[in-house]
Amino acid sequence: MRVVFIGTDELGEIALRKIAESSHDIVLVVTQPDRPKGRCRKLIPGLVKLVAGEYKIPCIQPETIKDEVAKGIILEAEPEIIVIVSYGEYVPSSIYNAPKYKSINLHPSLLPRWRGASPVRYALLAGDQKTGVTVQYVHKKIDAGDILRQEEVKIDPDDDHGTLCQKLYPVGAELLIDVLDDFELNGPEVDAERQDESKVTKAPKIEKEDILIDWAKTAFEVRNLIRAFCPKPGAKCIFRGENYKILSVDTNFTQLNGNFEPGEIFTISENGPVVACSDKGICLTNVQPPGKNPISSRDFLNGYRVEVGEKFLKLNLD
């Protein structure tokens, strides 16, 4: 099939590479413009652009996909189907409805659960025990299209955002190929299931305050927040007046034998400092001091001479 691929980031890169290595013909790639990164603010191409170059696929990077020139280039490529993966901008119906087989989207959740920009993080924040990937038709309402294919993925207790994405993304790429093969074999008469609107949950864009640890919450909630933002950007808090990132904690909680304030270190285990939350204690296993690389909590204890009674505090953005 003649495919136009519209996407960005790591999920887009893995999906694009999988399609490029299949029997389908990618005639055009559309991805976001190069963005400045690092201290020097040097323009760096995205992963999708790099893969397009590797496979010698024509690639455009419009400032907005609503641009008429970009629309013209996409339609002139005469795609039979458009595949949209984590593009970061709403694609107008004049584009997604144009091809013979319309357009499909790969989304890393079990829709209709976790519609929106941050489905993997919200699955972790909620403490879900499973998630998955969905291939759906593109719809005027974000992530509301009829479902073509889904596959479930287990969330292990020690999974964080990084490890869970490593599980999900290859599964999603394989699922995309299955759907494209299905279209090629059976034409437009591919079965699709309407989403149950009563089961919708939202996963909106993450804001700065969402990554701040509130030690007054339950240990379950604190652990899930830390998992959701590891390895990047890292859940933040204050220790000794400076900004720290907490990157991982023990999966087991500790009973509070006494009255301790939220954020207070009430004991030191062999794995690291144990910090009081509202109901139980949580053992920190990896932290990142300000301006430093991440370190194990054992190194943190030894290098910083951490003591019982010291406190981790919630960071105030004001």
In a domain, 255, yes or no: yes
pLDDT tens for 136-195 read 999 999 999 999 999 999 999 999 999 999 999 999 999 999 999 999 998 877 899 999
| pLDDT for the residue numbered 248 | 97
Single residue among 199, 229, 251 that ends a domain in this structure:
199
Residues 277 and 146 in one domain: no
Q: Is residue 298 part of a domain?
A: yes
In terms of domains, do 149 and 191 share one?
A: yes
Q: Are the CB atoms for 129 and 159 separated by under 8 Å?
A: no
Q: How many CB atoms lie within 10 A of CB 133?
A: 27
State the CB neighbour count (10 A cutoff) for residue 146: 14
26 in Cβ contact with 51 (< 8 Å): no
Q: How far is CA 117 from the centre of its chain?
A: 8
Q: Are residues 279 and 221 in the same domain?
A: yes
- Given 182, 199, 216, the domain boundary residue is 199
Which of 199, 227, 245 delimits the end of a domain?
A: 199
Answer whether residue 35 is part of any domain.
yes
Residue type at 255 in one-letter notation = Q
Q: CATH number, domain at 274? A: 3.10.25.10
pLDDT digit string (tens) for 58-108?
Answer: 999 999 999 999 999 999 999 999 999 999 999 999 999 999 999 999 999
pTM value is: 0.95
Q: Total domain count for the chain?
A: 2
Q: Are residues 161 and 288 in the same domain?
A: no
Same domain, 171 and 220: no
Neighbouring-strand partners of residue 299: none
Whether 218 is covered by a domain: the verdict is: yes
Same domain for 147 and 222? no
pLDDT tens-digit series, residues 256-281 = 988 999 999 999 998 899 999 999 99
- CATH number for position 21: 3.40.50.170
One domain, residues 173 and 266: no
The per-residue pLDDT for range 32-62, each reduced to its tens digit, is 999 887 667 788 899 999 999 999 999 999 9
Q: Is residue 318 situated within a structural domain? A: no
Give the distance from CA 63 to its chain's centroid.
23
Structural domain contains residue 87: yes
Q: Are residues 242 and 302 in the same domain?
A: yes
Residues 43 and 168 in one domain: yes
What is the DSSP pairing of strand 2-7 with strand 25-30?
A: parallel
Shared domain check, 185 and 227: no
* Residue listed under structure tokens 């909590």: 297
Q: Tell whether 146 and 221 lie within a shared domain.
A: no
pLDDT of amino acid 35: 84
pLDDT tens digits for range 191-246: 999 999 999 999 999 999 999 999 999 999 999 999 999 999 999 999 999 999 99
Mean pLDDT of the chain: 96
Contact 103, 113 (CB under 8 A): no
The range of the structural domain enclosing residue 50 comes to 2-199
* pLDDT at residue 43, as a whole number: 85
CA 11, 16, 21, 24: dihedral to nearest 10 degrees? 130
**Is residue 13 domain-shared with residue 77, that is, in the same domain?**
yes
CA distances from 292 to 34, 278, 310 (A): 28, 29, 21
Is residue 270 situated within a structural domain?
yes
Measured in degrees and rounded to the nearest 5, phi and psi for residue 175 equal -65, -40
Residue 26 pLDDT greater than 90, yes or no: yes
Backbone angles phi, psi at 168, to 5 degrees: -75, -45
